[in-house]
Amino acid sequence: MELKRVVVTGLGALTPIGNTVSEYWKSLVDGVSGAEPITLYDASKFKTQFACEVKGFHVEEHMDRKEARKLDRFSQFAVVCADEAVKDAGLNLDTLNKDKAGVIWASGIGGLGTFFDEVMNFASGDGTPRYNPFFIPKMIADIAAGHIGMKYGFRGPNYCTVSACASSSHALMDAFNLIRLNKAIVFVVGGSEAAVNQAGMGGFNSMKALSERNDDPKTASRPFDKDRDGFVLGEGAGAIILEEYEHAKARGAKIYCELAGSGASADAYHLTAPHPEGLGVILVLNNALEDAGLQPTDVDYINVHGTSTPLGDVAELKAIQHVFGDHAYTMNISSTKSMTGHLLGAAGAIEAVATILSVYHDTVPPTINHFTDDENIDPKLNLTFNKAQFRPIRAALSNTFGFGGHNATVIFKKID
């Protein structure tokens, strides 16, 4: 059968460096860091006392206070962000075939804040169970997709993908394939995460995964820098409207770009560490290129996973050099996590938004906070340090890799 083409017609963003798409994009191009001391709880006894929090978010500005109490913070982010994307796409909800409109919304952890609060409340009592009746429906990771679907009456496929930090990219991949196979015409796709709390920070600190640069939070996320010491935890959401090309064209939709291909693989190596030779990443890059029908030389930019960890940054670049050969030196590579921090299950969503806008605007956001070269990284690679660069971008990749060895890559290209 002939596969349908899939395009991007709407975007939403709620991030540590901007609560709308326009604010987010401006901060990316300007190289703004979202890392600051934690305000959501008292972090004075924690090894890491800073994070990339969403700033100035007041849920009562977006929904009724009574309704908001039924949603964990990650679901609040999801509903608000999805709404921006739906409005941006200009979808006519009165005429849209809602049986063919779906939602695939990712989260790596789900309602961790709700879980923590409810368990702490029980532990501080006399042993009598007094749990909020919304405890379970606030906590479960799939519930954000449910809320979005109910808000718009979308009756198409509706579920959550969970693969740690690759979750949102897998959501994009699933929606892409369902539209290609004519199982749907429109999807709200994205991811949200709200794990900046005592349990999230404490857990990642115990793994020694987080930067502990408490004296200088804004420069703590420094992918590819010799002195990087771990990632910075972030929160927020990203939303993308994927649509079948002919359907979008017929209604005169604004088209940002085409989702051309995707790939998935596993490292099958370690719980948290990447394969040192990047074997799983090599496989996922090749899978994505093959799916898109592109040659390595067709790609002008890669938004890398680039978390600012000692092992992960080097392994990813090794894999890129293996797949792209000499062309790796003519591409741009950058890690927007240097600005947003690491949004875990929402990382793929906000980084896909960044990649889409890069293709649309022919602009590469920088990798900020580079101070010292790492002798283990090829200095001839253009890692777009500290300043945005402007160049034609025909096609761009977005990489996300999750604990457990989950790898996902999506490819966006200019619409023909």
For 82, the enclosing helix (H) or strand (E) is helix 73-89
- Spatial contact of 197 and 143, defined as CB atoms under 8 Å apart: no
Cα-based torsion angle of the residue sequence 150, 156, 162, 168 in order, rounded to the nearest 10 degrees: -90
SS3 of residue 293 by DSSP: coil
Nearest CA among 160, 193, 6, 172 for reference residue 81: 193
In sequence order, the β-bridge partners of residue 263 are 409
The count of other CB atoms within 10 Å of the CB of residue 206 is 10
C-alpha to C-alpha distance for 308 and 227, rounded to whole angstroms: 9
- Spatial contact of 193 and 75, defined as CB atoms under 8 Å apart: no
- Spatial contact of 141 and 109, defined as CB atoms under 8 Å apart: yes
C-alpha to C-alpha distance for 270 and 277, rounded to whole angstroms: 13
Is 170 considered catalytic here?
A: no
Q: Which two tokens stand for residue 377?
A: 């990284």
Catalytic residue among 81, 160, 165, 257: 165
- Spatial contact of 388 and 301, defined as CB atoms under 8 Å apart: no
Is 165 considered catalytic here?
A: yes
Q: Which two tokens stand for residue 34?
A: 């979202």
SS3 of residue 99 by DSSP: helix
Catalytic residue among 170, 342, 370, 406: 342
Pairing outcome for strands 406-413 and 257-266: antiparallel
Nearest CA among 92, 106, 367 for reference residue 251: 92
HSE at residue 319, side-chain half, CA atoms within 13 A, is 28
Residue ranges of the alpha helices (H) in 110-252? 112-123, 135-139, 143-152, 167-180, 198-206, 245-250
- Rg, the chain, Cα only: 20
Is 322 considered catalytic here?
A: no
Catalytic residue among 247, 305, 370, 406: 305
Cα-based torsion angle of the residue sequence 232, 233, 236, 238 in order, rounded to the nearest 10 degrees: 60
Residues with catalytic function:
165, 305, 342
